Amino acid sequence: MTPDLPSLPRDDQGSPVFREPWEAQAFALAVRLHETGHFTWGEWASALADQIQQAQAAGDPDLGDTYYRHWLAALERLVAAKGLVSAAELARRKAEWDAAARATPHGQPIELPR
């Protein structure tokens, strides 16, 4: 039996709520990778719980504002552990994103090299 996937957080009008667009993207990516069989939801839940526990041990006060940062860090670790991306490739793409974001005028789409 597969545990139910999480439902999207919603506001009073029923619209999905994320503080920033990247949070929704990280949420969707984890769900999609699970749906396509790259990991079980139990593996995902364990990876996220481990990440949150490590963050709390390092001093994260767990006020809720860092939840999707933990979500993203757990996702990065899990996809590297599953061999979907190497740690080196992940680091390279993050550096490319940072450079592209800094070079892009505010309000313009960020484009990464292919």
Q: What is the pLDDT of residues 17-67, one digit of tens each?
A: 788 888 988 999 999 999 999 999 999 999 999 999 999 999 998 888 898
Q: What is the pTM assigned to this prediction? A: 0.77
Are 32 and 71 spatial neighbours (Cβ–Cβ below 8 Å)?
A: no
- Let me know if 26 is exposed, middle or buried by CB neighbors in 10 A (0-12, 13-18, 19+): buried
21-35 helix and 41-57 helix, angle to the nearest 10 degrees:
140
Report the first-to-last Cα separation within the chain, whole angstroms.
Answer: 40
